[in-house]
Structure 1
Amino acid sequence: MRFKLEKIKNTLFFSFISLNITLPFLAMHINAAVVDEEELTSVAQTESPMMEHCDEAVSTGSFVEIFECGDELFEVRFNALDGVGMNVGDGGRFTRVPRADLTNWSTTTPARATGPNAEACNVCHTTETIGGAGDGAGPAGLNVIRDPLHSGSPSDFIQRNTPHLFGMAGLQLLAEEMSSDLKRLVDNTVDMACRNNAAVEQPLISKGIHFGSINVNPPCPDPQVEIRAHGIAQDLIIRPFQWKGSELSIRHFSRGAFHNELGMNPVELAGDNIDGDFDGITNEITIADNTAMTVYLAAQPRPTSLLELSQLRRELRRRHGAEGSRVADELGLPDLTFAQQQAIVNGQQIFKDIGCDGCHRSSLSVINTQYSEPSSHPAYREQIFPGGQPGLDPSQAIIFDITRDQPDNQVFVGNRLVKHLGAFEKNRMGHALIRLYGDLKLHDMGARLAENIDETGSGASVWMTKELWGLANTAPYLHDGRASTISEAIIEHGGEAEQSRRNFSDLANIDKENLLAFLNNLVLFFPSEEE
């Protein structure tokens, strides 16, 4: 059965999550989490669900209303009447260790690789930012333990460091345009070979990044097409999310987190009126709920830098005097000395000199600045969701401009907007600058970073280049959080990054200090008054 929901202010609830950390195969108690329909009915007589579904907000088509509903979903502490968690054995509702030994855990619809391990998104996605608030990143100690093979053997467990969630729309739009570029190159190469009745080989390059090559040999109309993909799946579709580059879109990322981490079973995965995780609740996350969360995540502010924030302080002071200085103080903007600025600038040059920018590209640009949910790119949207659920109509998409419309990090002096730190910058051609310090490409990082299992089939030591924007606020580092400092993370590099690692080790101490000054300059900003 499904219980009637009542809206309750999220700020009233500060309960701490209870986590079951027992290892698999330990003896289970007879008692279990409340998931029985009769027991849940009893609970509902005195308690209420914590969430309000976003169907009404999404039906308005209003970007602001949809964003706000997604914001509430991100913060709400779900309870049993919402369907959070599941019976994970030993009387628990949450677990940090996957329970493949339990029938109900291993047969959820769809299968889970982890959790449920939290009762709210911001249990894991939270950290202190420049500006004093805290939003969108994972602190130390909240790594996710996964069992993707469902073996129940700890030797097959892997860990994933929680990433920050800033700037996601820029990454998806980059992936969409780059995938379109690569498809166009394939089509053009086939066309050229057929027109000239001769073999043609061309590199596969998008936005200056090499993804292999294509070779086409006639006769046409059915030529032999050989794609030698490098750092990308054979279908030449870039999947910009997760450490292995395994998630296609923000929507996929969102619904996976609902299902795996929170135990909030999405309708678009399980189907209508199906209790896919045996917790007594159906239709836990509606299609509209996931739409609202997707829009909210897509509209998160971009990361920034200490240099940019310090420059903003100077501009506020110069243009608006004492009032500008007051605003800068309230926002917590840094005031870098000349020596600090120079160290960052020197460090950026060293970053290039030792070859780090070969993978960690400082910025890429996107022509289309309109983020659309569902996507305007056919490969990044679904007409029919798993479970037979109808997809959203692209003609009724929710659209916002990533260079203008993000609600957060707008800096005002009085009633005048003087800087929008949340929106992506534009270049001279009006394209959005995505200062990601990445390349959306898979790389072999060597034996030190190899796992015991190959989760995605791309290789146990193969990882998507981790974007460095926001680096200073997101320790610990690397896919499993093994590096407590940036220097450790660099030393762990190998494989395709081996030469850069050696170059770093050979630097003089002053050059290492300048390099770290530059990397620690890459920050997240979220002022406390916006919480």
Structure 2
Amino acid sequence: MTPISRLTASLLALGLCLPTGALADTEFAPWSERAIQDDVDIKDLARSGEDPIPVLQPIGEKLFEAKFTTLDGAGRPDATRAIVPTKVRRPPPQAFQRLAGMDANSCASCHNEPVIGGSGAFTANVFVSEGFESTDFDTVDPQFSNERNTVALQGAGLIELLAREMTMDLRAQRKDVLDRARAGGEPQTIGLHAKGISFGSLTAYPDGTVDISALDGVDSDLTVRPFSQKGVFASLRQFTVNASNDHHGIQAAERFGAAWTGTDDFDGDGHADEMTPGQVSALVAFQATLPAPTRKQDLPDIWRDAAQAGEKLFADVGCTSCHVPSLPLESLIFHDPGPFDTAGTLRQSDVETPLALDLGTLDWVKALPRDDQGRVLVPLYGDLKRHTVADAANDTFGNELLAQRFVARDVFITSELWGIGSTAPYGHRGDLTTLNEAILAHGGEAAQSRKAYADLKESKRQSIIAFLRSLEIAE
């Protein structure tokens, strides 16, 4: 809140008012139609040593639920939705559209089922391009865009922490095999594993080069990117900056500001630096602290018994080879900016000290199980790895025509199933209405598990459905 807005609020509370001219100078009167009002200096917050969660979380929640207006800078008349700041090639026919965006007034207008931060109905689907270049389109023709359903954000802070630790593990293994190749004067090959998940192998040579052709499910830089249905965003911060421009036309200064574009109003809508680093951090903090999904309580006996049997069958047919029940997490300190944020997103090198959000102070985190080493077991039912999930016989998950961020059309990151009982419809387009349909749609690497499921008796298939529907986002 600006000094003028604080003064205005104080005077109004006393039944007084500012002079007309002073009130006209601010857009932060109590009745203001501006949605973006509160801010925080993250440098001062980091220096203070104050717990950032109670400072940032309520601001982030307010921003996540806010309905952005043109007073906030909503709209991008001269800019595209592209990840890299890009000027439009032709003026959009209107500010809001269901195609290349803008397509939402609020984060919560899509992420709202069954609670704020959750998934979205089919009517909330968006159309995405490859992200870098082909961002101007005004058709639903699949040659120009892919249709995507909204994914839930519950537990996202733990997901990002897992991805960070996996990335560090993989990069440490790469360094080790390079050191051994240089020391021994001969090529060395290593199988890459992080938290029990295999990511293929790589071969290092004495001259320092690396053969990455045998990597599996991860990018060549060995960064695990857990967000989006394709697994192409490394952090909540990157996701937030992208989505703010893409869906709302709210452009974060850390990417679209003068440091990178030479102007503080890249989209040409008359509003400078529409979202500050502090406001992005607040949105990140809100998402990172959303409680993880749980299991339904007080189930009737028939459902509880079926779910218990179904959980075992789910493993027996091979589904847990990708939908791993839990992964161990070493540290609960969520640094923002994160260690793998890159150019165009605020980086740790851009700040004196990153904010440190201790997720371990949250009650819902304290309730999670731990292993014999004291690590939190994150019950995600996923592996943070990309897989081929379609083939010629079953192309339901492979019929997109556009690759996204160089990820093949039939490759998607494993969906975390925690909360799946609350996030119908299913599939990357949200056009599968039942879990049974979603399971039977699997192909590629999941073909054998799909067949094993299909070969079960109906009663056993239903027990697997009972198990999956017991995994919920609590309301």
Q: TM-score range, shorter-chain basis?
A: 0.7 to 0.9
Q: CA deviation at 1:339?
A: 3.1
The AA in structure 2 aligned to 1:168 is: A
Q: Residues 127-185 of structure 1: CA distance to partner in whole angstroms, max 9, x if unpaired?
A: 125xxxx5432223101112442363523221111011111111111111111111111
Q: CA deviation at 1:66?
A: 1.1
8 Å contact from structure 1 (residues 452, 460) kept in 2: yes
Q: Percent of aligned positions with the same letter in both sequences? A: 29
Aligned residue among 268, 272, 281 for 1:278 = 268
Aligned residue among 237, 242, 252 for 2:223 = 237
**Alignment map for 1:504-515 (pairs within 5 Å):** 504-515=453-464
Q: CA deviation at 1:464?
A: 0.7
Q: CA deviation at 1:342?
A: 1.7
Alignment TM-score, normalising by the size of structure 2: 0.82
CA distance in 2, matches of 1:437, 1:159: 25
CA distance in 1, matches of 2:308, 2:168: 35
1:190 aligns to what?
Answer: 178
Q: Give the SS at the match of 1:525.
A: coil
**Alignment map for 1:493-504 (pairs within 5 Å):** 493-504=442-453
Over aligned residue pairs, what C-alpha RMSD do you find? 3.2
CA distance in 2, matches of 1:215, 1:269: 36
**Alignment map for 1:94-493 (pairs within 5 Å):** 103-105=90-92, 114-128=100-114, 134-148=116-130, 149-150=134-135, 152=137, 153=139, 154-155=141-142, 156-217=144-205, 220=206, 222-227=207-212, 228-272=214-258, 274-306=264-296, 310=297, 335-375=298-338, 377=339, 380-382=340-342, 385=344, 395-402=352-359, 404-406=360-362, 410=363, 420=364, 424-446=368-390, 447-450=395-398, 451-493=400-442
CA distance in 2, matches of 1:101, 1:60: 37
Q: CA deviation at 1:58?
A: 7.0
CA distance in 2, matches of 1:145, 1:405: 38
8 Å contact from structure 2 (residues 43, 352) kept in 1: no
Q: Give the SS at the match of 1:296.
A: helix
Q: Give the SS at the match of 1:55.
A: coil
The AA in structure 2 aligned to 1:143 is: N
**Alignment map for 1:17-56 (pairs within 5 Å):** 48-56=33-41
8 Å contact from structure 2 (residues 122, 431) kept in 1: no
CA distance in 2, matches of 1:336, 1:167: 23
8 Å contact from structure 1 (residues 366, 434) kept in 2: yes
1:317 aligns to what?
Answer: none
Q: How many residues align?
A: 427
- Against the structure 1 CA distance between its residues 44 and 213, is the aligned structure 2 distance closer, same or farther, given a 3 Å change threshold? closer
- Against the structure 1 CA distance between its residues 70 and 357, is the aligned structure 2 distance closer, same or farther, given a 3 Å change threshold? same
8 Å contact from structure 2 (residues 43, 351) kept in 1: no
* Greater mean deviation of Cα atoms: 191-200 or 43-52: 43-52
Q: Residues 20-53 of structure 1: CA distance to partner in whole angstroms, max 9, x if unpaired?
A: xxxxxxxxxxxxxxxxxxxx99x99995422213
CA distance in 2, matches of 1:495, 1:5: 58
Q: Structure 2 regions of 5+ residues with no counterpart? A: 10-23, 82-86
Q: CA deviation at 1:216?
A: 2.8
Q: CA deviation at 1:233?
A: 0.9
8 Å contact from structure 1 (residues 6, 49) kept in 2: no
Q: Give the SS at the match of 1:240.
A: coil
Q: CA deviation at 1:422?
A: 7.7
Q: Give the SS at the match of 2:241.
A: helix
- Against the structure 1 CA distance between its residues 362 and 77, is the aligned structure 2 distance closer, same or farther, given a 3 Å change threshold? same
- Against the structure 1 CA distance between its residues 202 and 255, is the aligned structure 2 distance closer, same or farther, given a 3 Å change threshold? same
- Against the structure 1 CA distance between its residues 80 and 176, is the aligned structure 2 distance closer, same or farther, given a 3 Å change threshold? same
Alignment TM-score, normalising by the size of structure 1: 0.73
- Against the structure 1 CA distance between its residues 235 and 337, is the aligned structure 2 distance closer, same or farther, given a 3 Å change threshold? same
The AA in structure 2 aligned to 1:514 is: S
